[in-house]
Structure 1
Amino acid sequence: MAEVIHPFYDSHRGAMEAAMRHRLDLAEAMLCERAHLTDIAGIRQEVTDEFEIVLTQMPYVGGAASRMSDFFMRLMGFMAISRVLRRHGVLLSMIGEIERETYKAQLLTMPEAERLASGRQFMSPENQTLLREQAAKSATTSHQKEFPEDFVYDFVEPGPSDTFEFGINYKACGFCKFAARHGDKEILPNICGLDFDAYATRGIHLERTQTLAGGASHCNFRFSRLPSD
């Protein structure tokens, strides 16, 4: 029986594939010069084929109603790229470097005004209210039963001596669950490393000292605004 892509992800397939192809364009020189791969066309085809598999494996966590759906759609392409590069013997550290540099370069193709506006929206009181609501919902038994592969998290208010504006403690991670299910645990830390550039390019400082992927009890995300130039 053929594996099925969830209709929500299938409707976004074109955008996800385009983003992945763009990352491969940005990575081409590094794949040649650092990873010493020569058949780049072959690598591209392998990644495309692997992404078809990843699409069938992506967990559905609520579609447009869940902020975490966007996380999966933006980052699952890296799973396909990582799997292929590992099969070609590329070191995990090298994969991490290539992925982080290409992701940052891709993020910076967005106009600065748009990136910073997105960052201000993320840090806004309105979004913090939404995050509190979604965090509370993520921890409910009914939500975890309906979407067992979703993230579970708490909203963290700053204390009197804290310098961050708000935080999120992820107590269960959708990517960790995905990696455990499909044999991608060694790739996972590289996926985690992408978070810092994802926020920095939007004018947000992320402080994080531990992750579930690293064996901690939770991922401790702490957010504050980067100073304006």
Structure 2
Amino acid sequence: MAETVHPFYAQHRNAMEAAMRHRLDLAEAMLCERAHVSDIHAIRREVMDEFEIVLTQMPYVGGTASRMSDFFMRLMGFMAISRVLRRHGVPLPVIGEIERETYKAQLLTVPEAERLASGRQFMSSENQALLREQAAKSTNASHQDAFPEDFVYDFVEPGPGDKFEFGINYKACGFCKFAARHGDKDILPNICGLDFDAYATRGIRLERTQTLAGGASHCNFRFSRLPSE
């Protein structure tokens, strides 16, 4: 029996597919120049076909009740791009560069005022309260039993001398679990690299010195506001 897309992701399928097509538009020149793609139309079709497979593989972690659902919907498409380029022999560092530059270009199509407002909301005391609540929920045994593919994380308060406003320690990563399950461990670091631009384009400085994908015990995200120009 053919695999199906979870109903939650099916509701957002059109938007996710449109975002993928937009990424491929933005990446086209880089794919030709750096990945030496000769038939860009064939690559586009192959990526969109692979994305259909990724959609059936995406784990459900609670829908709108989980902030991590949005992470999956925004970033999992890069797994499809990575898989296709890897099959075509493109070196992993080149894949990472293309994906990061493509994602940044896509993020910058959002008006600056909207991006910065989103960043202020993320850094707000209200959102920090939500993060504390969801972090505590993520470590709950019943939640982990219900959503074993979800992220597990702690909210980190700054200590004396710390220059960040707050942090998150991811002790288990949904992308790592996905990569281990589907044979994508080698392309996983490229997904991790997207985080920096995702926050910087919203006026947020992300500092991170280790990742689960790199073999650490946790990913240490530390957030502060970038100075306004």
Query: Which TM-score tier does this pair reach, normalised by the shorter chain?
Result: over 0.9
The CA distance in 2 between the partners of 1:51 and 1:31, in whole Å, is 17
Output aligned runs, 1:1-229, within 5 Å: 1-229=1-229
Aligned-partner SS, 1:102 = helix
User: What one-letter code is carried by the residue in structure 1 that aligns with 2:92?
Assistant: L
Deviation at 1:137, TM superposition (A): 0.3
Deviation at 1:55, TM superposition (A): 0.5
The CA distance in 1 between the partners of 2:36 and 2:59, in whole Å, is 34
Q: Which runs of 5+ in 1 are unaligned?
A: none
User: Which string of whole-angstrom CA distances, capped at 9 and with x for unpartnered residues, describes residues 74-102 of structure 1?
Assistant: 00110001100000000000000000000
The CA distance in 2 between the partners of 1:32 and 1:109, in whole Å, is 22
Aligned length: 229
The CA distance in 1 between the partners of 2:35 and 2:177, in whole Å, is 29
- Runs of 4+ deviating beyond 3 Å: none
Q: Which runs of 5+ in 2 are unaligned?
A: none
Q: What's the Cα RMSD here? A: 0.4
Aligned-partner SS, 1:202 = coil
Deviation at 1:34, TM superposition (A): 0.9
The CA distance in 1 between the partners of 2:58 and 2:183, in whole Å, is 14
User: What one-letter code is carried by the residue in structure 2 that aligns with 1:124?
Assistant: S
User: Which string of whole-angstrom CA distances, capped at 9 and with x for unpartnered residues, describes residues 189-228 of structure 1?
Assistant: 0000000000000000000000000000000000000001
TM-score where L is the length of structure 2? 1.00
The CA distance in 2 between the partners of 1:105 and 1:45, in whole Å, is 21
The CA distance in 2 between the partners of 1:35 and 1:81, in whole Å, is 12
Deviation at 1:4, TM superposition (A): 1.1
The CA distance in 1 between the partners of 2:141 and 2:66, in whole Å, is 16
Deviation at 1:15, TM superposition (A): 0.6
The CA distance in 2 between the partners of 1:163 and 1:226, in whole Å, is 12
The CA distance in 1 between the partners of 2:225 and 2:35, in whole Å, is 36
The CA distance in 1 between the partners of 2:94 and 2:111, in whole Å, is 28
TM-score where L is the length of structure 1? 1.00
The CA distance in 2 between the partners of 1:48 and 1:161, in whole Å, is 48
Identical counterparts, % of pairs? 88
The CA distance in 1 between the partners of 2:181 and 2:65, in whole Å, is 24
User: What one-letter code is carried by the residue in structure 1 that aligns with 2:132?
Assistant: R
